[in-house]
Amino acid sequence: MNRHLEAAPGYRAGHTLPLRVEAVRQLRRRRTLVMGGLLAALPFILLIAFAVGDGDRPSRRITLMDTATASGLNFAAVSLFVSAGFLLVIPVALFCGDTVASEAGWSSLRYLLAAPVPRWRLLWSKLVVALAFSVAAIVLLPLVALVVGTVAYGWGPLRIPTGGSLPADEALLRLGLAVVFIVLSQLVTAGLAFWLSTRTDAPLGAVGGAVGLVILGNVLDAVTALEDWREFLPAHWQFAWLDALQPELVWDGMVKGTAVSLAYALVLFALAFRGFGRKDVVS
Amino acid sequence: MGLRLAATRRRLVAGAVALLLLGGAGAATAVVAGSPEPVHRSDQRLTMPDARIDTSFFTTGPSDRRRPAVLLGHGFGGSKNELAEQAEQLARDGYAVLTWSARGFGKSTGRIGLNDPEGEGADVRRLVDWLAKRPEVQLDAEGDPRVGVTGASYAGAAALLAAGQDKRVDAIAPMITYWDLADALFPEGVYKKLWAGVFFTTGSLAPGGDPRGVPGGTGGSGGEDGPGEPPRRGGGNSAERPQTRPADGCGRFQPELCRMYERVAEAGRPDAEARKLLAERSPAAFAERVRVPTLVVHGQSDSLFPLDHGDRIARAVSGNGAPVAVDWIAGGHDGGDTEIDRVRQRVTAWFDRHLRGDESADTGPAFRVSRTGGINSTNGSATLRGASASAYPGLRAGAVDVPLAGPQQTFRNPPGAGPPSLSTIPGLGGGLDQLRSFNVSISQDMPGQFAAFRSEPLDRSLRITGTPTATVHVRASDAAAAARDKGGTEAVLFGKVYDVAPDGRRTLPAQLVSPVRVTGADEGRTVRLRLPAVDHEVKAGHRLELVVASTDLAYASPLRAADYTVSLADPALSVPTAPAVRTDAAAFPWWVWGLPLAGALIALALLLTARRGRGAHGPTEPDPELTDVPLEITGLSKRYAGSADRYAVRDVGFRVEKGQVLGLLGPNGAGKTTTLRMLMGLITPDAGEIRVFGHPVRPGAPVLSRVGAFVEGAGFLPHLSGRANLELYWRATGRPAEDAHVDEALEIADLGEALDRAVRTYSQGMRQRLAIAQAMLGLPDLLILDEPTNGLDPPQIREMREVMIRYAETGRTVIVSSHLLSEVEQSCTHLVVMDRGRLVQAGPVAEITGAGDSLLVGLAGEPDAERLAKYAEQAAAVPGVASAEPAPPPEGGLLLRLDGGSAADVLGALVAAGLPVERFGPNRRLEDAFLTMIGGPSA
């Protein structure tokens, strides 16, 4: 036995807590499975709702809802529309807010740190896995909706509520673009939840805090007196992806929304790493 | 007061947003709070022939500073009041600004002459005279001020007239205005009845009647309030002067204009005299005299003064050798986005360059067109992008032929010209341009009243910029009419070009239509149609459709029934594409790139400073002399945040050698756990250092991989089984699987079948054993166990002791912390005793417990305290006894500390002294020693 080593044989800091291991640790958790199930079930629930409801009543305002049963693509778009405002915030807040705080709550955090998994390495693995789970959750919903909708309503062009339609192949790309934007716009939620997660031992506190601040953002965005200042609220752009589903693709809102989200997210992630790197772990 | 309140609120908002922006990025945008420079305004009514003209003069700063002047006029139906904001803005930009209400508008008296050169035209000349006398105004010569003229619609024409009539005018910026009013109201000899009606009724109201009661009000467009604004009713003016219609029905119009209108409106077609009257009052009459730099702003949504008026202005002025820039805005008299802010900036830049002579002012490209993208669904606005060219392309640049097909078609001109087809409805405005980007079109052609000729679907997208043309053959069959009119039958046709999507939806670009009057149509005529000038992209796969219709709601057409037969004379539509016009790169506000960049910089700064903070503390070099020492702690101190004066650990130092089983002892709050946390790199010491095998311990120090720890209870993922927990923990260390020695660890855990159950079902003891097993994974060189026997039953406790002793015998080192003192006593070779954060004693167990040095004397008869104290006095007097005191309960008796004497001698002496000795033996109870050291159990 060599007692002059700096570290145990085979130990390399960069190999600690591999992404795969962290993914397995998180994947088998009940909340992951429940969230996945919920998102996969939503299209079916919508399908039943549209089947039960009387679709003939003309509505005064033209919305995406009116076209839900036009094609699988329409159904997927509507599924996104009903869930983008709030439902899709929750998996992101959950996966990113719970990841560190729950380890602290279980006391397993200190064993990981003493293994030792370097702190930034631990955060990095957890962040990557949490973001990957978030992306999977956001993609899962429209994907299931697309399959379910196509089976129920057939494959066809995306009918646009205000008239006209997009050919199916282009609409599929546009829908993909919308999902990409939703992912990017949720980075700020992810950043907020992740930062809170490193500050508290209570997973609910981190998740709830992130969701609460998102709601606060929505409330502020409703205050029209703020005028242009609202452009700096991430919530202001939460439906900018609709710009991708109109005849003329408009980048403006999505680019601005991404810029705002990215800026906040970078700062919040950095705060998480900075704070956790020097924090006294006493849980 | 209201202003101040508003400013305060904005400042609050600015602060809140700056906070949201987390500092850095917010600073640049928080400048709104500054109060603007005060503008001095003076109102005066100037007496002119037949009228008093109401004016306002705006300046900033000292009155003796000479500066260029700007004359700013209003649209038809407006007044100088609507110009105040723009005037103040120009005044702050360093101009002397004079606004005026034109004859017959606002508080100005006189009759409306539709820019009569001798009426309104002369007024402007006199305003220039007035400016020349002001001390604030820069002069080019005596009585010749440096002056520019701008305004929209009615005032735009006034600006052109001023430039044509008065050589003192130095630059102009006419906006959405006409070149020839006769052409605007009677295009191709067809009476534009809806617009003309709006125009004349607006001016026919009694003076002061609220002109904005008219749908879409023709005034105030472009530079001022957008025409898309809803009509405002009940303004101050109309309250003062009730709206009434005078007896002659002419209102404020000059009588000859009034008569002309009535004549034309009744006839449904203009006559030569009417054309002449309007042409004489149009800028076109002074075409060759407009020789000053001219910024032509024209509207794409403008069926009143369509783009070809702007085209003629531009061609006339540049033909005279003066610089010209053309700007096609999205909106116009029909509504839509009039891009007020951008246009104002451009006008100011134009005057900066051409009045002030500022060579650095960017007057923009020679040609710019705003192109509508989709809708921004966040705020519901249509997005605009600019396209520009370095030269004005005109309306027919880069023409390409798009083949059209369609048979000869015969359609009807219905009697009474109704129901008519729909294209533009004046004043409908507003949301039309937004609808348009959704491909919603209100235009409608009546069945049986039009001929249509279609192209094949385009194989690539085509941008129309200008006036498409087509040539058709027209023949009218109306035998009765032919017999009546010797001149032959006249036909009025309306040409338009639709964009037809693959699904059949038809879009009429800008809702525009071009009328044409065909004389002698009964003999058959070949007509070249100049179709509406637009900027519109036809997507690949769409078709172009030329429609020739017999009616249109906005125009007067013959009331007699007739059949028109139309065929293509040339099977192609000639479409101008203006290839030199390139769409500008998307213009995003600075923060679209700046904000993420600022975020990245802040993030980087946060991370870099964090790194430095961590690295600065303590040594990083390993100490080669200590590589064989499992643990050395020196001068260790820690104070938790929030407890300023109380140290959790203070100045603790000890050393552990290989093969030792070290007991860490102390009551609750002694600092044991804090010490172990620091040892594991979980918390950072305030002072002192910890070296494990010579390497300083910091958070995540690699040397910690040689340490196995079980501290403060188990920490497992409750949803996973015990086996999965151990396996994943080991994989998380990143070390080779074969180094784990899982079997040995599992043997210690002794969980049996429970190993494959979820940890959340475990009892505390099971978790405890699993956690100890986890600490021993990989057989670490230094094993730390914190209260390892908590929750274990006696056989397990004994086994655990043996495990620790065996583990140390392999040359490894074990540190056990416990408050079960007897426990530690039996398994440890060395002890460290702590109390209240301080190290009390350290050394081999035997040394601390004192082996033979300390004796416990049991006394018969349970003596009371008084007696016991007496016995203690007697015992202390015995030679060889250093001290004697009552032993703490429950033992009772005396505790003796020997001073070199032998136990046997002391016993003899005690018995001799008469003490009722019942029992006599060495006090090897660690607890007693421990309590002695820390000053009793109550401490």
**CA-to-CA separations, B389 to B179, B330, B582, in angstroms, rounded:** 23, 17, 6
Nearest to A274 among B606, B683, B695 (CB): B606
- DSSP annotation of A201: S
**CA-to-CA separations, B855 to B707, B743, B849, in angstroms, rounded:** 39, 46, 11
Sort residue B627 into left (φ over 0), alpha (ψ -120 to 50) or beta.
alpha
Residue of A nearest to B537 (CA): A248
Q: List A residues 230-259 in contact with B (Cβ-Cβ < 8 A).
A: 232-233, 236-237, 239-240, 242-243, 246-253, 255-257, 259
- Tell me if B564 sits within 8 A of B411, measured CB to CB: yes
Backbone angles phi, psi at B100, to 5 degrees: -145, 150
State the total domains in chain A. Answer: 1
**Residue spans in chain B of domains classed CATH 3.40.50.1820:** 40-183+280-389
pLDDT at B820: 67
Whose structure tokens read 């546009």?
Answer: A174
Does residue B110 have a pLDDT over 50? yes
For residues B880-904, average pLDDT: 74
pLDDT at B871: 84
B15 inside 8 A of chain A by CB: no
* B683 HSE (CA, 13 A, CB side): 22
pLDDT at B35: 63
Compare B565 and B234 and report the one with higher pLDDT. B565
Whose structure tokens read 């094949």?
Answer: B456
Per-residue confidence at B939, pLDDT binned at 50, 70, 90?
very low
Nearest to B735 among A8, A239, A262 (CB): A8
B617 inside 8 A of chain A by CB: no
Look at A274 and B704 and tell me if their CB atoms are within 8 Å: no
Chain B residues with beta carbon closer than 8 angstroms to that of A163: 438-440, 505
pLDDT at B437: 47
Tokens of B120: 């309104």
- Multiple choice CATH, B399-583, 1.20.120.530, 3.10.20.580, 2.60.120.260, 2.60.260.20: 2.60.120.260
Nearest to A112 among B383, B732, B739 (CB): B732
**Residue of A239, A271, A168, A138 lying closest to B607 (CA atoms):** A271
Q: List A residues 7-26 in contact with B (Cβ-Cβ < 8 A).
A: 7-18, 21-22, 24-25
B377 inside 8 A of chain A by CB: yes
Does residue B565 have a pLDDT over 70? yes
Chain B residues with beta carbon closer than 8 angstroms to that of A236: 378
- Give the whole-angstrom CA distance, residue B621 versus residue B259: 104
Look at B599 and A271 and tell me if their CB atoms are within 8 Å: no
pLDDT at B853: 64
Ranges of chain A whose pLDDT falls below 70: 1-4, 54-63, 162-163
- Tell me if B854 sits within 8 A of B922, measured CB to CB: yes
Nearest to B720 among A13, A28, A248 (CB): A28
- Give the whole-angstrom CA distance, residue B202 versus residue B328: 26
Give the H/E segment covering residue B858: strand B854-859
For residues B95-120, average pLDDT: 92
pLDDT tens-digit map of B505-548:
888 888 899 999 998 888 889 999 999 999 998 988 899 999 99
- Multiple choice CATH, B40-183+280-389, 3.40.190.10, 3.50.50.60, 3.40.50.1820, 3.40.50.2020: 3.40.50.1820
Interface test with B, best of A11, A187, A268 (most B CBs within 10 A): A11
Q: Is residue A5 part of a domain?
A: no
Whose structure tokens read 């700056």?
Answer: B18
Nearest to A248 among B13, B374, B606 (CB): B374
Look at B586 and A10 and tell me if their CB atoms are within 8 Å: no
B695 inside 8 A of chain A by CB: yes
For residues B57-68, average pLDDT: 91
* CATH dotted code for B852-923: 3.30.70.100
Backbone angles phi, psi at B928, to 5 degrees: -65, -45
Backbone angles phi, psi at B150, to 5 degrees: -145, 165
Cβ count within 10 A of residue A156: 16
- Give the whole-angstrom CA distance, residue A199 versus residue B875: 61
pLDDT at B619: 65
B846 inside 8 A of chain A by CB: no
pLDDT at B383: 75
Look at B437 and A248 and tell me if their CB atoms are within 8 Å: yes
- DSSP annotation of B22: T
A-to-B residue pairs, Cβ atoms closer than 8 angstroms? 259
Q: List A residues 88-147 in contact with B (Cβ-Cβ < 8 A).
A: 106-119, 121
For residues B557-586, average pLDDT: 88
Nearest to B735 among A10, A14, A232 (CB): A10
Compare B423 and B705 and report the one with higher pLDDT. B705
Does residue B935 have a pLDDT over 60? no
Q: Is residue A57 part of a domain?
A: no
Look at B588 and A252 and tell me if their CB atoms are within 8 Å: yes
Please give the share of chain B, as a percent, with pLDDT higher than 70. Answer: 83
Interface test with A, best of B705, B760, B810 (most A CBs within 10 A): B705
Nearest-CA distance A205 → chain B (Å):
19
Local structure of B795: helix, strand or coil: helix
Does residue B251 have a pLDDT over 90? no
Judge if pTM exceeds 0.90. Answer: no
CATH 3.40.50.300 fits B624-847, yes or no: yes
Q: What angle do CA B430, B433, B437 make, to 5 degrees?
A: 145
Tokens of B157: 């024409």
Does residue B9 have a pLDDT over 50? no
pLDDT at B815: 93
- Give the whole-angstrom CA distance, residue B813 versus residue B780: 9
- Give the whole-angstrom CA distance, residue B405 versus residue B453: 5
Backbone angles phi, psi at B373, to 5 degrees: -95, -145
**Residue of A185, A206, A219, A11 lying closest to B735 (CA atoms):** A11
For residues B94-100, average pLDDT: 94
Tokens of B750: 């002794």
Q: List A residues 140-199 in contact with B (Cβ-Cβ < 8 A).
A: 160, 162-165
Chain A residues with beta carbon closer than 8 angstroms to that of B586: 251-252, 255
Does residue B10 have a pLDDT over 80? no
Largest CA distance in chain A: 81
Look at A15 and B715 and tell me if their CB atoms are within 8 Å: no
Compare B16 and B926 and report the one with higher pLDDT. B926
Does residue B15 have a pLDDT over 50? no
Domain region containing A34: 16-50+62-278
- Give the whole-angstrom CA distance, residue B396 versus residue B722: 81
> For residue B198, which amino acid is it?
V
- Give the whole-angstrom CA distance, residue B572 versus residue B397: 17
pLDDT at B226: 37
Per-residue confidence at B221, pLDDT binned at 50, 70, 90?
very low
**Where does residue B756 rank: exposed (0-12), middle (13-18), buried (19+ CB within 10 A)?**
exposed
Q: Where are the alpha helices (DSSP H) in B21-94?
A: 24-27, 84-92
CB-based contacts of B485, cutoff 8 Å, min separation 6: none
Does residue B240 have a pLDDT over 60? no
- Among the residue ranges A202-211, B128-137, B642-651, B829-838, the one predicted with the least confidence is B642-651
For residues B655-680, average pLDDT: 89
Q: Is residue A164 part of a domain?
A: yes
- Among the residue ranges B154-158, B385-389, B477-481, B611-615, the one predicted with the least confidence is B611-615
pLDDT at B235: 37
Does residue B279 have a pLDDT over 70? yes
- Give the whole-angstrom CA distance, residue B237 versus residue B247: 21
- Tell me if B51 sits within 8 A of B625, measured CB to CB: no
CA torsion angle A58 A61 A67 A69 (round to 10)? -50
- Tell me if A217 sits within 8 A of A158, measured CB to CB: no
A224 inside 8 A of chain B by CB: no
Interface test with A, best of B371, B376, B503, B637 (most A CBs within 10 A): B376
Q: Is residue A4 part of a domain?
A: no
Nearest to A278 among B13, B599, B614 (CB): B614
pLDDT at A281: 87
Does residue B651 have a pLDDT over 50? yes
For chain A, the 3-state helix, strand and coil shares in percent, each to the nearest 5, are 75, 0, 25
pLDDT tens-digit map of B256-269:
898 899 899 988 88
pLDDT at A64: 73
pLDDT tens-digit map of B758-794:
999 998 889 999 999 999 999 999 999 998 887 788 8
**Buried b or exposed e, range B32-66, using 16+ CB within 10 angstroms:** eeeeeeebeeeeeebebeebebbbbbbbbeeeeee
- Tell me if B704 sits within 8 A of B692, measured CB to CB: yes
- Tell me if B169 sits within 8 A of B160, measured CB to CB: no
Give this complex's ipTM.
0.91
Which range is most confident: A155-169, B711-725, B860-874, B903-917? B711-725
Look at B376 and A253 and tell me if their CB atoms are within 8 Å: yes
Chain A residues with beta carbon closer than 8 angstroms to that of B680: 110, 113-114
For residues B80-100, average pLDDT: 93
Does residue B431 have a pLDDT over 60? no
- Give the whole-angstrom CA distance, residue B934 versus residue B939: 7
**CA-to-CA separations, B390 to B45, B324, B327, in angstroms, rounded:** 44, 11, 12
Q: Is residue A3 part of a domain?
A: no
B737 inside 8 A of chain A by CB: no
For residues B710-716, average pLDDT: 90
Q: Where are the alpha helices (DSSP H) in B193-297?
A: 193-204, 236-240, 255-267, 272-280
Backbone angles phi, psi at A207, to 5 degrees: -65, -50
pLDDT at B933: 62
HEC letters along B554-570: CCCCCCCCEEEEEEECC
**Buried b or exposed e, range B876-885, using 16+ CB within 10 angstroms:** eebeebeebe
Look at B501 and A164 and tell me if their CB atoms are within 8 Å: yes
For residues B720-731, average pLDDT: 93
pLDDT at B20: 38
Mean pLDDT of chain B: 82
Please give the share of chain B, as a percent, with pLDDT higher than 90. Answer: 44
pLDDT at A173: 94
pLDDT at B416: 85
B503 inside 8 A of chain A by CB: yes
- Give the whole-angstrom CA distance, residue B884 versus residue B894: 7
pLDDT at B77: 86
Does residue B665 have a pLDDT over 50? yes
